[in-house]
Amino acid sequence: MQDTEALLGRMADIEMPPPPDWTWLWATLLIAVLTALLAWWWRRPRARKQAAPLPPPDARGELDRLQARWRARELTDRETAYRLAVILRLGLALPRLSPQCPAPLRHEEDAWRETVDLLQRARYRRDAAPIDPRLFERVRRWLAAGKDEAPC
């Protein structure tokens, strides 16, 4: 019994280990939840703002300014061709400038293809022929016609 008493006496000095510290687990879970919420918030479908419709461009005015700058040699033929293509595309409300003639200009299909070809060559080839001044008049005539009516 003495041995038991001594053994129990020695066991009285033993301290139990502290309970496990779960702080790291809670911090990790909190970061994971916050990350998931942030990812959901970032990728959620948003109501897209309706952009205010742009006013129709003053294509004829831009064409006049472009022609004046081209005549004054402020612009190269290449830069003029780029700007002329944009004016023509926006003035006729075309999604892109292509050799396929727009419906209102069907009666001038050959002239349309020739114009688009000339603009393509002037924009993308170094050895392109200079821009013909009559091209401005042709584009002006096409812009003067309404979008729904064929030019006269």
52 within some domain: no
7 part of a folded domain = no
- Residue 69 confidence class, pLDDT cut points 50, 70, 90: very high
Per the structure, the count of domains in the chain is 1
- In a domain, residue 66? The reply is yes
Question: What pLDDT shows up at residue 68?
Answer: 93
pLDDT, tens digit, 9 for 90 and up, residues 131-147: 888 889 998 888 887 54
pLDDT at position 44 is 85
Q: Is residue 98 part of a domain?
A: yes
- Stretch 100-127: mean pLDDT, rounded? 86
The pLDDT value given to residue 31:
96
Reported confidence tier of residue 72, pLDDT bands at 50, 70, 90: very high
What number is the average pLDDT over the span 3-20?
Answer: 76
b/e burial code for range 43-61 (CB count within 10 A of at least 16 → b)? eeeeeeeeeeeeeeeebee
Please name the amino acid found at residue 124: Y
User: What φ, ψ does residue 56 adopt, rounded to 5°?
Assistant: -60, 135
Comparing 117 with 53, the larger pLDDT belongs to 117
Judge whether 8 lies within some domain: no
What is the pLDDT at residue 94?
85
Range of the domain at 71: 59-144
In a domain, 152, yes or no: no
Mean confidence (pLDDT) of the chain: 82
pLDDT > 70? residue 61: yes
Asked if residue 48 is part of any domain, the answer here is no
Give domain status of residue 109, yes or no. Answer: yes
Q: How far apart are CA 148 and CA 132, in angstroms?
A: 28
Q: 151: closest CA among 118, 102, 117?
A: 102
